[in-house]
Chain A
């Protein structure tokens, strides 16, 4: 040893584990911070590069003469330049307008001084110009520099917060070490060490821990940055500025906190070292009355309470920190729980076949037309091959038309018509239909009143309804049907209390087993409508052709006329369908079906409407279709699909070959939004995971700090403990007495923390409820976790150093001077 400062290394070596933990803390903070800074710098760099590819100039000057250009070019601050015309986007003409023909485009040598250089050149050479604002902003310059400066300040703030953590843990470790060896510092003073020399030993210890931690942290952070870059397909690289920033904030903070530490030991006079007085601050010890804890725990409780009250500030600080931590934890747990519940609820709504692509048949739609809009066989194949897809089935579905709409309408329940969004709409449509005097008015609205969804299922799918059967049987006769009569439906708007969509569970109709409904001959109805519609389509084509001739050259007029024509034909079609329907009824060409089973939920498919479900054979018979006429595909997942390909395929199916610029035309394809729901869920999980990481980080750092602080506090009291031992307190009893202090603190902190946390939960819950109705759950598990965690932390933080202390206590007493 050739320098007294090496004592620092000896002290760090003496408690390797503590030093390692401190270094670990610095590493963790550095890794996170450096990765953050490095990624930020990488993003900034990439953005600069991207911007320079598009517009590689920092400023332009509108030259008045050639000499002016040459003068500017010879300025040593100009790195590169070229001459060309300068255009600017004009809002008035919606076009690029020439601003100045002879413009000098310039890049300077110091982009971080764009503003100053620009102003200087303007003044020196008497020229006007403009700064490339966006590029300048990327160098924290330009007229709008405040925004970027604010962002930079935010980054600095984040860095500083991390520094507080990283340095805090080092400070505590060194403080503890200094307190444990405080007598050494007094002895050093005796043999002639000055206060400055003692300080330098402390600073040296801090610097060693910090630098090792930062060194390793930067290496790991670089690796993590590369991983992050690889995951998000970005080039991040290595940015020295991050290291410099970390060194500045960490070392800067270290300088101040180590100053505090130094005060601790320099306050130790050589005399007190000789006399064996280790207490640094003389405290006033007040006589206190007997207290509650004394009554409960006897003399031990009395001692514990008095010890706590002796340093009230520290006690309240500890309690406040714990209360805050517990409340935050419970609050977050409550929020996570609410989110989880919502997700569960939402996902359950998608029923057995979570994903489907379907285009229901109906009068006027040919099967070819329908199947043409379905996803291609290839796309369906790819979906089927996803690992999580355990079942894929064809859908058979069709709109069937009632013969007596009025009879059906009368069966709607009051509840459905008045409390749900759909029922409310239905009531309005019904009224408009009734009061319509012309055929147009009726024809427009007929499909809403007469069409009912009908689904055919194979044996296994059909049998699944057994669980939802509330009346009758699934085992139906030739002219029997099963209806889905209940649904979780959107609440009517005027009844909604939250900002989001609310649902009510209602019975849609008051049908019972034995009731009948009449359904028109669907096969004939379909044929009739199709003939009529084909005729109308042909007519439309002819008229469009004629219009084209008449209005040749006047495109605007032509487009307008065609639009009119389309509207007319659309109405004509509806009228034709109305007429066909009337004809079938007047001919008595409809059949009566008896309701033989009622289920209260559609277990196979999402969506809640009045539906008819049938075994396949009967479905074919009723709708006049056959096996080849499937109207879509449906897929079952037995667990939540995590495969990214799922949403890729689904997106491709729905808008794959769609041109963004073309108007989106609805082709009748129905699909579930399960995939997007899952996407959102994944995003939410990412956010929760991130929040969790932060919480873990904060809890970890706070705990380490707390453990260290407790240990130093106990060290300060070691003479007192030694005295207690001397007057006959057993080791165990002493540990118990001090543990009781921890117990009292934890109990108080938990009571307050859980109360506050529950309040926070209710507060969060209130807001969640504005968007989505939920039942409130008290976060039992989180509370239990908090209680256990805080007890372990507090008592552990006391127990471990106490056990070590009580071993060296007698020595503490006997070495005290004369």
Chain B
């Protein structure tokens, strides 16, 4: 089953003289349960690809269908609902809410969706990511690796259709980085979810089912 379908997606930043191509006529599909790595030089358009796919940024033209829904047609409110139900983000800078504990950060997307968190499932995720002993801690009481694991748990919590990770290891040393990626890939596999992962680390990228290479906003190798 196709979880993501992008057709002729273009993203242009700025106007006239300062025009920059973020994405240039990109088309691709991603299958349910697939793990896809995105690689490319800095400024090649990797993040832009993730942002339009995850609905935090709108493409200039083209069609993006995620889990059967054309997200380019959604309004702001619908987009927010789409993000919290279908997408799990993991960022380089973690982006946790500093005033919330680990557990609260993880359940936040569920609470935002006006649902009661599934205790067992949340417990399972935390266990899987080794966060059981840290549930009451605030983000600033955690190491970088632990913070990123919390962010991953949060991305998984809502059982999204698609997990998008933008250089999740960028702020970590290599040992912690490999560990986090391994955990991320394992969890995704265990829970039978779909992952799009941006990374500079070729070794880590190779572990994926498929590698997409981007240069100057265009897919050069899929």
Residues from 47 to 92 in B contacting A, C-beta threshold 8 Å: 47, 51, 54, 56-57, 76-77, 80-85, 87, 89, 91-92
The answer, among B56, B95, B99, B111, for a CB contact under 8 Å with A11, is B99
Verify if A384 is at the interface (C-beta below 8 Å from B): no
Verify if B12 is at the interface (C-beta below 8 Å from A): no
- Whether the pair B77, A194 counts as a contact (CB closer than 8 A) is yes
Verify if B167 is at the interface (C-beta below 8 Å from A): yes
- Chain A residues whose C-beta falls within 8 Å of the C-beta of B80 in the assembled complex: 189, 192-195, 197
- Chain B residues whose C-beta falls within 8 Å of the C-beta of A2 in the assembled complex: 111, 116
A813 to B: closest C-beta gap in Å: 11
Q: Which residue on chain A has the smallest CB distance to residue B42? A: A818
Size category, A interface: 20 to 34
- Chain B residues whose C-beta falls within 8 Å of the C-beta of A1 in the assembled complex: 100, 104, 107, 111
- Chain A residues whose C-beta falls within 8 Å of the C-beta of B57 in the assembled complex: 271
- Whether the pair B109, A270 counts as a contact (CB closer than 8 A) is no
The answer, among A191, A194, A270, A276, for a CB contact under 8 Å with B108, is A191
Q: Which residue on chain B has the smallest CB distance to residue A276? A: B93
Verify if A183 is at the interface (C-beta below 8 Å from B): yes
Known contacts A184-B98, A191-B154; is-contact A815 B93 (Cβ 8 Å): yes
Verify if B97 is at the interface (C-beta below 8 Å from A): yes
Verify if A759 is at the interface (C-beta below 8 Å from B): no
- Whether the pair A10, B99 counts as a contact (CB closer than 8 A) is yes
Verify if A4 is at the interface (C-beta below 8 Å from B): yes
Verify if A7 is at the interface (C-beta below 8 Å from B): yes
Verify if B112 is at the interface (C-beta below 8 Å from A): yes
Q: Which residue on chain A has the smallest CB distance to residue B83? A: A192
Cα separation A1 to B104 with both chains bound (whole Å)? 7
Chain A 2-26 interface 0/1 with B at a Cβ cutoff of 8 Å (1 = within) = 1110010011011000000000000
Of listed A1, A183, A817, A818, residue having the most chain B CB within 10 A: A818
- Whether the pair A184, B97 counts as a contact (CB closer than 8 A) is yes
Verify if A508 is at the interface (C-beta below 8 Å from B): no
- Whether the pair A7, B84 counts as a contact (CB closer than 8 A) is no
- Whether the pair B56, A274 counts as a contact (CB closer than 8 A) is yes
Known contacts A1-B104, A7-B97; is-contact A194 B76 (Cβ 8 Å): yes
- Whether the pair A191, B111 counts as a contact (CB closer than 8 A) is no
Verify if A188 is at the interface (C-beta below 8 Å from B): yes
Verify if B207 is at the interface (C-beta below 8 Å from A): no
- Whether the pair B95, A274 counts as a contact (CB closer than 8 A) is yes
Cα separation A1 to B87 with both chains bound (whole Å)? 23
The answer, among B51, B77, B112, B166, for a CB contact under 8 Å with A191, is B112
The answer, among B95, B107, B111, for a CB contact under 8 Å with A183, is B95
Cα separation A614 to B76 with both chains bound (whole Å)? 100
Verify if A604 is at the interface (C-beta below 8 Å from B): no
- Chain B residues whose C-beta falls within 8 Å of the C-beta of A269 in the assembled complex: 56
Verify if B113 is at the interface (C-beta below 8 Å from A): yes
Chain B 138-162 interface 0/1 with A at a Cβ cutoff of 8 Å (1 = within) = 0000000000000000100010000
- Whether the pair A818, B92 counts as a contact (CB closer than 8 A) is yes
Verify if A187 is at the interface (C-beta below 8 Å from B): yes
- Chain A residues whose C-beta falls within 8 Å of the C-beta of B77 in the assembled complex: 194-196
The answer, among B87, B104, B116, B166, for a CB contact under 8 Å with A192, is B87
Known contacts A4-B111, A197-B112, A818-B167; is-contact A190 B99 (Cβ 8 Å): no
Verify if A273 is at the interface (C-beta below 8 Å from B): yes
The answer, among A4, A183, A270, A816, for a CB contact under 8 Å with B56, is A270
The answer, among B87, B92, B108, B116, for a CB contact under 8 Å with A188, is B108
Cα separation A4 to B105 with both chains bound (whole Å)? 10
- Chain A residues whose C-beta falls within 8 Å of the C-beta of B108 in the assembled complex: 4, 188, 191
- Whether the pair B56, A271 counts as a contact (CB closer than 8 A) is yes
Q: Which residue on chain A has the smallest CB distance to residue B77? A: A194
Known contacts A7-B99, A10-B100, A11-B99; is-contact A192 B111 (Cβ 8 Å): no
The answer, among B92, B97, B104, B158, for a CB contact under 8 Å with A817, is B92
- Chain A residues whose C-beta falls within 8 Å of the C-beta of B81 in the assembled complex: 192, 194
- Whether the pair B76, A195 counts as a contact (CB closer than 8 A) is yes
- Whether the pair B95, A4 counts as a contact (CB closer than 8 A) is no
Cα separation A189 to B87 with both chains bound (whole Å)? 12
Chain A 355-366 interface 0/1 with B at a Cβ cutoff of 8 Å (1 = within) = 000000000000
- Whether the pair A273, B100 counts as a contact (CB closer than 8 A) is no
B143 to A: closest C-beta gap in Å: 16
Chain A 802-818 interface 0/1 with B at a Cβ cutoff of 8 Å (1 = within) = 00000000000001111
Known contacts A274-B95, A815-B93, A818-B47; is-contact A190 B100 (Cβ 8 Å): no
Residues from 14 to 56 in B contacting A, C-beta threshold 8 Å: 42, 47, 51, 54, 56
The answer, among B89, B99, B112, for a CB contact under 8 Å with A14, is B99
Q: Which residue on chain A has the smallest CB distance to residue B57? A: A271
Question: Which chain A residues have a beta carbon within 8 Å of chain B's beta carbons?
Answer: 1-4, 7, 10-11, 13-14, 181, 183-184, 187-197, 269-271, 273-274, 276, 815-818
13 additional A-B pairs beyond A1-B104, A817-B93, beta carbons within 8 Å, are A4-B112, A7-B97, A7-B99, A187-B95, A189-B83, A191-B112, A192-B82, A192-B83, A193-B112, A197-B80, A270-B56, A274-B56, A816-B93
A-B contact pairs, 10 of them (CB 8 A): A7-B99, A184-B97, A189-B80, A189-B83, A191-B112, A192-B112, A194-B76, A194-B80, A197-B112, A276-B93
In order of increasing CB-CB distance, the 10 nearest A-B pairs are A192-B84, A194-B80, A192-B83, A10-B99, A270-B56, A4-B111, A187-B95, A815-B93, A191-B109, A184-B97
Question: Which chain B residues have a beta carbon within 8 Å of chain A's beta carbons?
Answer: 42, 47, 51, 54, 56-57, 76-77, 80-85, 87, 89, 91-93, 95-100, 104, 107-109, 111-113, 116, 154, 158, 166-167, 170
